[in-house]
Amino acid sequence: MAKEAIKYYGVDPWKITETGFNPERSRVSESIFSLGNEYMGTRGFFDEVYSGDSLKGNYFNGVWEDKPITYFEHFKGLSERCCFMINANNWIYTRIFANGEELDLAKCEVENFYRELDMKKGIVTRTFDWNGISFAFERFISMTERTVAAQKITVKSNGFEGEIKIVAGSDFTPIHEEENRNFWVEIHNSDACIVARTQSSGQRVYSAFRANLEAEKFFAEEKKSCAEYSINLKNGESAAFERLSVNITEKDKTVSDDTFIANCNKKANELFTVSYDEYLAKHESFWADVWNKLDITIDGDEENQQGVRFCIFNLHQTYHGEDGSLNVGAKGLTGEKYSGWTFWDSETYCLPFYMFNNPQAAKNLIMYRYNTLQQALDRAVEQDTKGACFPMVTIDGTESCGVWQHGNLEIHVTAAIAYAVWHYVTNLKDKDFLYDYGARLLVETSRYFASRGGFSPKNGDFGLYGVMGPDEFHMMVNNNTYTNYMVKKMFLYTIDVIEEMKKACPEKLPEVTDEELADFKLKADKMRISYDEETKLFEQHDGYFDLPHIDVNSISPDRVPIYKYWAYDSIFRVNMLKQPDVVLMLFFFSKDFTLEQKKANYDYYEARCFHESSLSPSIHSIMATEIGKDEQAYEYAKYASRIDLDDYNRNTHQGLHITSAAAAWMNIVYGFGGMRSDDDILTFNPTLPKQWKGYQFKILYREKILTVDIRNGKATFTLDGEAEPIRICGKEYMVGKDGVAVEI
């Protein structure tokens, strides 16, 4: 790939470290040092004022504003409104003065600057010396009490004598940078407590704080609630300022302001009875449990070790399934790019991570789609189709994509919902979920595709016309093979589920007729899958093989990113790919295809892929491992695990690539570990990169921890419970507590 790493942060297996502050990297570091807990997130900006370049971003999952989408000319079926996650209150708002001089790292000379994210504990710390004072900052967002965030500032005099004044508060004035405006209206402001409402959507946020020091005074400014504290230091003395912040959201407009505030005051007062140290201990215990149970360890490669742990850390920060009304945004809670939207990545890339780390979270990812089914049904009507058409990008279940060729043509998103039901049930055997919720999703998505497609008058094939597949460098194409194959598989799975339910639980059957099922079967059997038996190649879409060729390796770095430097329509006139399409199909349904087919298609399409998507490298690494391209697999894996730490795409400043973090986890487990989860039992074909001495990963498999350890030419599998059948290197074993060792 013609992309280079920027090596800036220190390499450590458990920490991300920054020694010396570089203002040119400030926004990148704000993304890297972000903290969150699914409910809320805060970028790694400084506590105190910083007048340099910064995005002081604080976000609540599912708290959004909306705006109309305007077009030069509006056509039926185009999305009319856009929801976007907004920058909320700065709960860590702080101003620091030493003998009247304000601390601002854009203006003040500081020494010994050091910042650290401790992934083992989920804490960000920062230290430096200024004006004869040593400062130590610590912050965390509680993983056990989702409304609580905490800040600690320790000061020690190294020659300084005098007053240190700290102004702390909660601030609703930050600008939402993507829209260049503020979206909050203050509705309550009292001592260390402020409540604000979004201007349009009417969602509310309550924010209150308490400190360990006694406030000299409380004061209010517009959209700010503050308190002032004073510390008098003599040489050699030290003191600590600790603050707990409680932030509570309310999205139900029927709840009155008075009721909301009263309930929040009661809740906050209860939460403030717990100390900073107690919250910290519980928070650290949460992370200790995560790492003890489901860590990935790599022996002999600290860069990849650090990278994959950074990915795992941010996946747990972004989502752990506490709330079924929330989902995984492409940037999580680390920035405004992609507006907090959920894409199809949740069901295809993120779901496997949660299936094998946190099954309840996996279930809730799909329940999010079930809970927004009505919006998908309404969207299908707008598209002149039946069933459920799920949105390309969304927060509230409606389509927020104002780029019609993505919002209207990427119908593979709806197929991903059905795929997620199949993938989840296949591995977790959750028949209650299938019968109560999944079957309805399957029927409605099948109904949509049955009405969205059509038959060719030339040969009678059924296909899907006027679409865009995962490779977004080709639009308005006919019969994208990935999409067609996904739909074919889901038609057949829907039929199987309904037939199963007729016997097992007829009372729970969703409304579907035998005539519809027969129609699904006919269209599955007639589905066009363009394949050349001689070359073993699947054509990505009708006419793809006729497109002019471009050597992706010849593209100059000053012509990337593609969307910025290429005329838009020129992207669609050549055979360059943005990300895997056919190759993705071969991975998702691995057992359906031969190794020969995988080799032929990987070689053909990899040479045409530019990896403009962060999701691309990991899938190529996984498939390269399977077909024996070890060096290529390793290079792609390194890119995938460190895409943000090394800023490969030069866009980490916008926020972290959360869904590609899930792909990086897959890179270890599905790639080098050789796991496949598209059959009734798990399959493994592990390999050991020559750059590593060994590695180990753990997954949660049917409520038991499966440990896979690869080193010294052997792969050892151990299950901490009743034995389960697992296929390893082509042979089926019963794996239990005694373990199974297989030569590789």
Tens-place pLDDT, residues 313-340: 999 999 998 888 889 999 999 999 999 9
201 in a structural domain: yes
Is a pLDDT exceeding 60 seen at residue 1?
A: no
210 in a structural domain: yes
Q: What's the total number of domains in the chain? A: 1
Determine the residue type at 602: Y
Residue 437 C-alpha from the chain's centroid: 24
Per-residue pLDDT reduced to its tens digit, 15-26: 999 999 999 999
User: For position 321, what pLDDT does the model report?
Assistant: 87
User: For position 74, what pLDDT does the model report?
Assistant: 82
* Catalytic residue flag (residue 472): yes
Q: How many other C-beta atoms are found inside a 10 Å radius of the C-beta of residue 5?
A: 14
8 A C-beta contact, residue 552 and residue 610:
yes
Is a pLDDT exceeding 60 seen at residue 235?
A: yes
Per-residue pLDDT reduced to its tens digit, 33-87: 999 999 999 999 999 999 999 999 999 999 999 999 988 888 999 999 999 999 9
Is a pLDDT exceeding 60 seen at residue 195?
A: yes
Query: For residue 92, what is the enclosing H or E element?
Result: strand 90-98
Q: How many other C-beta atoms are found inside a 10 Å radius of the C-beta of residue 533?
A: 6
User: For position 561, what pLDDT does the model report?
Assistant: 82
User: For position 115, what pLDDT does the model report?
Assistant: 98
| Rounded CA separation 183/185 (Å) | 7
- Segment 82-102 mean pLDDT: 97
Determine the residue type at 286: F
Is a pLDDT exceeding 90 seen at residue 740?
A: yes
DSSP code per residue over 583-646: HHHHHHTGGGS-HHHHHHHHHHHHTTB---STTHHHHHHHHHHHHT-HHHHHHHHHHHHTTTTT
User: For position 3, what pLDDT does the model report?
Assistant: 72
Q: What's the CATH number where 261 sits?
A: 2.70.98.40
- Segment 543-555 mean pLDDT: 95
Is a pLDDT exceeding 90 seen at residue 556?
A: no
pLDDT band for 2, please (50, 70, 90 cuts). low
Q: In whole angstroms, how far apart are CA 437 and each of 218, 328, 362, 432? A: 51, 20, 14, 8
| Rounded CA separation 121/321 (Å) | 20
pLDDT band for 656, please (50, 70, 90 cuts). very high
- Segment 669-685 mean pLDDT: 97
99 in a structural domain: yes
Residue keyed to tokens 């099948």: 446
Q: Mean pLDDT for the chain?
A: 96
* Catalytic residue of the set 250, 410, 472, 612: 472
User: For position 637, what pLDDT does the model report?
Assistant: 93
CA geometry: angle 441, 447, 449, nearest 5 deg: 105
Query: For residue 304, what is the enclosing H or E element?
Result: helix 302-318
Partners of 189 in beta bridges = 194
497 in a structural domain: no
Residue keyed to tokens 């296929």: 727
Query: Which range marks the domain in which residue 270 is found?
Result: 15-69+81-290
Encoding tokens for residue 173? Answer: 């004035």
8 A C-beta contact, residue 126 and residue 137:
yes
| Rounded CA separation 303/532 (Å) | 41
Per-residue pLDDT reduced to its tens digit, 345-354: 999 999 999 9
Partners of 148 in beta bridges = 246
- Segment 509-520 mean pLDDT: 98
| Rounded CA separation 28/548 (Å) | 38
Per-residue pLDDT reduced to its tens digit, 381-440: 999 999 999 999 999 999 999 999 999 999 999 999 999 999 999 999 999 999 999 999
Q: In whole angstroms, how far apart are CA 692 and each of 292, 296, 534, 641, 643? A: 22, 13, 38, 15, 20
225 in a structural domain: yes
| Rounded CA separation 88/81 (Å) | 21
37 in a structural domain: yes
Is a pLDDT exceeding 70 seen at residue 728?
A: yes
236 in a structural domain: yes
203 in a structural domain: yes
pTM over 0.85: yes
CA dihedral 525, 528, 529, 530 (to 10 degrees): 150
Residue 100 C-beta-side C-alpha neighbours within 13 Å: 0
